[in-house]
Structure 1
């Protein structure tokens, strides 16, 4: 299909269904998957290595190889599944059914992955390989329909900002459960048997995930989908439609830079606290200090975005974040230094909370622009690429952090030299700040709020003409 020429025409009155605000239930249903998704990802990141090595007694070298292979498979399958989602429609919808199609098996395989069936050394190796690969693939490919569903249920900017707020709160709830409640719960449920505790708590997590999936598919209705739109579109044209959209490309750069910067800093943080402030327990305080400012930021995100606009809100957060990161270089290793560090963390958390819902509304706008400009709905592919970029950033962050520790002369478990301490400060401040500078790509995001409204009207007109 060639490029659709967009002509200037008189705006047509939208049908009531076109401009209807989403209910609170619909907004929650569209975003609550962020909570369960974060729970699974954080539990894997924090506890799976321990479960495999200390409970199932799998070799750490084998586990490291398994994790690497899983990331490679995910990187291949995620965009492939995105194309599949764009080309295939089900009788129940294009994107919404996948909340159950993928959500239910994710719940089941999450439980299986953290359950010890006493299969013995060789049996455990085979078992963990099969269950983890399936579990990892299911979680990764769910990015495509999850990121694509927003433009299919609403075209309203205010709805998208509100969904971003609810979604970010859901992410925080999932992260808080994984970081604060999971370990005490598996200990309590296991009552001295950690393997039993892991299995029981993941069974409960799975049950919650299944209930969430049912809630999502029974609460959401896709209103802006042409089921035959992309079924006959060649893959080359689908890819071209994505990467000729400048706003989508700059968003991918933004997402890569933001996640890579935060990932490097997170990986280095415990080393920084342990050897600079001589208190690795500050990691917990650091997380706790972030909670209230982040919630406050999320709560005022809507008014701030309406006052200053989406782009200014997002850029302001990046600027503040860079300044606070660079401040690490002049913070002293004293109690006053700790207070300053935590205060800067609170400031950063507030601006991050205020900007994240606005940033979350930008990819749906880019998806709409692609359909408006080319006539092709490739939301699944665009959403899967975003998921791939996030996964790539997390993988690169760990590798860069490990390599950088080696470069600065870090030696585990001993007092570090002054040169290594200075290197840790660089890794906590200058390196992530430099990476974060690439979030300035957002300056080239040229889909203004007014342009989004125009695109919404044009797309509504086309749907009415086809009906």
Structure 2
């Protein structure tokens, strides 16, 4: 059996999924908790918080392609991508602690510290997540096996997401009653150590099977030019950017929505966060059978259209009862759980298409570019959240907000994500890598044949 189409064991799929669970400790907390932490606990003004998210992420425009190119050129007995899981897992854990620390500085000092800590966490996330995401394309090139691998990945990833979202506030209150700042630091320290262990298990249980057809020396500019020739990557860039903007705006505002619109406390907030995790697992498990019966492009179109329309229901749901909103929240996150494996399966397909079209496999660069777009979506979504809150007069650290600020939370939580989800649905209609097309490409690659 060709290494391109070799079956992947359940053990390896599980180990691979643990790597993303570790990554999601940082990613999900950045989406759902960090904005709340910076405004309500650390005390940053919303506009400053939003600008911080955007400006620091600009650094990724430089670091992501560099890391992708370095990963592509890495040579070791463990492969190109796996060694980085071993090297960076400890600094990754340290970054989790530092970004949730609250030193006793003045306002200027707090901003400077937040920038430095956030940059360090971003760099560590880049250094370990780009090789991890590239690893999936090095495990298998078979479209069906890849979708299965990504389904396992996104069914397991919410374990880490739960740590960074649903569990952090209850654990913080348990570890340091009455001192949520210290409690969150301790909680993220514990989760960082767990994430480190998850990365080590991922390193030990996975195997790189797919090697580049053509080896060349490190040349970032050349690889960027090769990537630019991949027309399907450009389509996915619009798709990923719009999707992540929608995910982040809604995710960042969930805590505010539950607290100020539904008038509920930390226990209900944690229930919403936990429901996010469980629903994402259900959706991820449904992605493989759905993708086997329906074209994944068509499935993604409808998943995002439904995400837009169902999200608007929060505008008309009664606010005196939180259960209806909770049910809608679960439905939305099942849909998002379906979206994630489809998204990453298409990213892998675009990587194989790029090799078929250009005769050069630049997995690390391809993944780095996609992750940069995803992180740019996170940055823009976070910035829009902060700027939107500031526009509607939200006051950091103030328990009682104005009616205008509360109305702003509802509008930002519903209308803005719906717009981004509709853009996502429209963009992916132009994507051309159907399963039949990919089967032809994989067969050609296995024979050393390329686009004529």
Aligned equivalents of 2:261, 2:59: Cα separation in 1: 38
Structure 1 distance, partners of 2:443, 2:309, is: 40
Corresponding residue number in structure 1 for 2:374: 390
Report what 2:403 is aligned to. 416
SS in 2 for 1:205: helix
Q: TM-score, normalised by structure 1?
A: 0.80
Do the aligned partners of 2:172 and 2:180 also contact (CA within 8 Å) in 1? yes
- Pairwise CA distance, 1:85: 2.0
Aligned residue for 1:215?
201
CA 1:24–1:256 in 2, change beyond 3 Å: closer, same or farther?
same
1:261 pairs with 2:250:
no
Following superposition, the deviation at residue 104 of structure 1 comes to 3.2
Q: Secondary structure at the match of 1:102?
A: helix
Show the counterpart of 2:415: 430
The 1:339/1:42 distance shift into structure 2, 3 A limit, reads closer
In the alignment, does 2:299 pair up with 1:313?
Answer: yes
Contact persistence 2:41–2:181 (CA under 8 A): no
Q: Distance in 2 between matches of 1:422 and 1:207?
A: 39
Partner Cα distance (1:194, 1:415) in 2: 24
The corresponding residue for 1:240 is 225
Question: Structure 2 vs 1, CA of residues 399 and 44 (structure 1 numbering), >3 Å: closer, same or farther?
Answer: closer
2:82 maps to 96
- 1:344 aligned partner: 328
**5+ unaligned residues in a row in structure 2: which ranges?**
none
How many Å apart are 1:289 and its aligned residue?
4.2
Report what 1:12 is aligned to.
none
8 Å CA contact 1:70–1:137 kept in 2: the answer is no
Task: Check conservation: 1:111, 1:199, Cα contact below 8 A.
Answer: yes
- How much does 1:196 deviate? 7.8
2:213–2:361 Cα contact (<8 Å) kept = no
Task: Indicate if the aligned counterparts of 1:270 and 1:280 stay in contact, CA closer than 8 A.
Answer: no
Alpha carbon RMSD of aligned pairs, Å? Answer: 3.9
- Per the alignment, residue 383 of structure 2 pairs with 399
**More displaced 10-residue stretch of structure 1: 307-316 or 74-83:** 74-83
Residues in 1 aligned to 2:312 and 2:6: alpha-carbon distance in whole angstroms: 45
Residues 258, 265 of structure 2: 8 Å contact kept: yes
Q: Name the CA distance, whole Å, in 2 between partners of 1:443 and 1:414.
A: 42
Give 1:364's aligned residue.
Answer: 348
Q: What's the CA shift for 1:210? A: 3.6
- Structure 1 residues 150-169: aligned runs within 5 Å: 150-169=136-155
Partner Cα separation in structure 1 for residue 276 and residue 332 of structure 2: 8
Cα distance change of structure 1 residues 48 and 207 upon mapping to structure 2, 3 Å threshold: farther
Tell me, yes or no, if the aligned pair for 1:26 and 1:220 is still in contact at 8 Å.
yes
Deviations 1:240-289 (A, max 9, x none): 32222222111111111111012222334444445544446654443344
Q: Distance in 2 between matches of 1:143 and 1:356?
A: 16
- 2:78 maps to 1:82: no
Matched, 1:139 2:139: no
* Residue range with higher mean Cα deviation, 182-191 or 379-388: 182-191
Report if the CA contact (8 A) 2:214-2:359 is conserved: no
Equivalent residues of 2:50, 2:383 under 8 A apart: no
1:274-285 aligned within 5 A:
274-279=259-264, 283-285=269-271
* CA-CA distance at 1:106 after TM superposition: 1.6
Q: TM-score, normalised by structure 2?
A: 0.82
Structure 2 counterparts to residues 67-78 of structure 1, below 5 A: 70-78=56-64
Q: Which sits farther off after the overlay, 305-314 or 266-275?
A: 266-275
Deviation at 1:306, TM superposition (A): 0.7
Match of 1:148 in 2: 134
Q: Which runs of 5+ in 1 are unaligned?
A: 1-14
Decide whether the 8 Å contact of 1:88 with 1:231 is kept in 2.
no
Q: How far apart, in 2, do the equivalents of 1:384 and 1:410 lie?
A: 35
**Bigger shift: residues 282-291 or 121-130:** 121-130
SS of the residue corresponding to residue 225 of structure 1 reads: coil
Contact 2:248 2:382 survives alignment (8 Å): yes
Shift of the 75–236 alpha-carbon distance from structure 1 to 2, 3 Å rule, reads: closer
Count how many residue pairs are aligned between Structure 1 and Structure 2.
443
- Which residue in 2 is equivalent to 1:454? 440
**82-91 or 168-177, which moves further after superposition?**
82-91
Maintained 8 Å contact 2:146/2:345: yes
Moved more, 339-348 or 75-84: 339-348
